[in-house]
Amino acid sequence: MPARILSGTEIGQQIQAELRQEIETLKQAGVTPGLAAVLVGDNPASHIYVRNKIRACEALGLYSERLTPPASITTGELIAEIEALNRRPEIDAILVQLPLPKQVDAQRVLLAVDPAKDVDGFHPINVGALVANRPALRPCTPAGVMELLRRSGIPLEGQRAVIIGRSDIVGKPLALLLMHAHATVTVCHSRTRDLPGVARTADILVAAMGRAAFVTPEFVRPGATVIDVGINRLEDPAAAERLFARHPERLEEFRRKGSALVGDVHPDVADVAGALTPAPGGVGPLTIAMLMANTVQAARARRGQAVAARARVEAVR
Ligand code: NAD
């Protein structure tokens, strides 16, 4: 039986609909959550990501702005821009789009973001809170994966989860979130021995490595849930012919556009997995939804007193 498809697009829309109501309530209390996206230089993929994030903010009625310092900016100049955002009361959330240019010390820049406005959850204070399972802003992609699993009714407690990829942005924080949800977690990486064998022990297998279609059916225990975090641009026609041999509609799309976005999971995994996220249309929309959720959470945490006071006034009236 082919895998159940876990549509991130649908779940992302559900979350956004819930957020729209919450934002409306906040606005009635005089608070419009605000996000500032800092986009350094002219990396085309980063421009597309930031454009999509700003569009999502606009669609939900959040305040948003985009700062676009030049690629030649120094670490000190960028930190000064971030400190100015830290001081602005109407900005609840600051996003620094990665990667930063080589001359910029990304660690120092991320440290400069006020932890209360750190919408990506990358500041060491928020990383520490995640390790200790204390409330704080969580990195959007791992938080999105958790929301997708939860809303799809995939059990986690006592389940074996295997994550391929140990990055600070995806693999590592997701391992902690799954552990806090009582899964038994294994984290694999480029030096793991017998990767397919380890992956086959998983009830929940997460591919977050950035290698197009690397995870083939031999990695997957029949019936397992497979979450594909990878986003890779495929441009080689021969590779596309092989990959999409049984998916004529995707091959057709590749021929039309000259490229295609593919995940880390091979399309044939759908024959073996019990449930599978599509790529695109899986984890990506959840990342955006969680960015919006984190912006609202940051606004509530920073300006909650104002909202509560306003609600009290309304109640008396
Ligand atoms: P990264 O390059 O920082 O980390 C990749 C990890 O995969 C590393 O830990 C590495 O050890 C591991 N890895 C690489 N090759 C491997 C191999 N052959 N065998 C085993 N492990 C291997 O990447 P990242 O930032 O974590 O992103 C991973 C993928 O997820 C990328 O395709 C990225 O575009 C995508 N991504 C998607 C979203 C989304 O919203 N859907 C968000 C962030 C990242």
> pLDDT for 214-246, tens place per residue?
999 999 999 999 999 999 999 999 999 999 999
What residues line ligand 1, using a CB cutoff of 6 Å? 141, 164-167, 169-171, 188-190, 192, 195, 208-211, 229-232, 283-284, 287
Supply the angle between the helices 44-60 and 8-28 in degrees, to the nearest 10.
50
| Boundaries of domain holding 47 | 30-119
> pLDDT for 112-168, tens place per residue?
999 999 999 999 999 999 999 999 999 999 999 999 999 999 999 999 999 999 999
CATH of the domain at 44: 3.40.50.10860
Catalytic residues: 53, 97, 120
The Å distance, Cα 210 to ligand 1 centre, comes to: 4
Q: Indicate whether 74 and 113 sit together in one domain.
A: yes
Q: Is residue 7 part of a domain?
A: no
The Å distance, Cα 305 to ligand 1 centre, comes to: 39
Q: Is residue 103 part of a domain?
A: yes
The answer to whether 205 touches 220, Cβ cutoff 8 Å, is: yes
Top mutation candidate among 95, 141, 148, 167 for ligand 1, by most atoms within 8 Å of CB: 167
- Provide the domain count of the chain: 2
Show pLDDT as tens, one digit a residue, over the chain (317 residues): 889 999 999 999 999 999 999 999 999 999 999 999 999 999 998 999 999 999 999 999 999 999 999 999 999 999 999 999 999 999 999 999 999 999 999 999 999 999 999 999 999 999 999 999 999 999 999 999 999 999 999 999 999 999 999 999 999 999 999 999 999 999 999 999 999 999 999 999 999 999 999 999 999 999 999 999 999 999 999 999 999 999 999 999 999 999 999 999 999 999 999 999 999 999 999 999 999 999 999 999 999 876 677 767 667 76
The Å distance, Cα 278 to ligand 1 centre, comes to: 17
Q: Is residue 306 part of a domain?
A: no
The closest-lying atom of ligand 1 relative to the alpha carbon of residue 192 is: 20
Q: Indicate whether 147 and 43 sit together in one domain.
A: no
Q: What residues contact 253, with CB distance under 8 A and at least 6 apart? A: 260
Top mutation candidate among 7, 95, 170 for ligand 1, by most atoms within 8 Å of CB: 170
The closest-lying atom of ligand 1 relative to the alpha carbon of residue 166 is: 9
Burial 85-116 (b: 16+ CB within 10 A, else e): beeeeebbbbbbbeebbeebebeebbbbbbbb
CATH of the domain at 149: 3.40.50.720
- pTM summary value: 0.95
The Å distance, Cα 48 to ligand 1 centre, comes to: 19
Q: Indicate whether 182 and 277 sit together in one domain.
A: yes
Q: Indicate whether 155 and 270 sit together in one domain.
A: yes
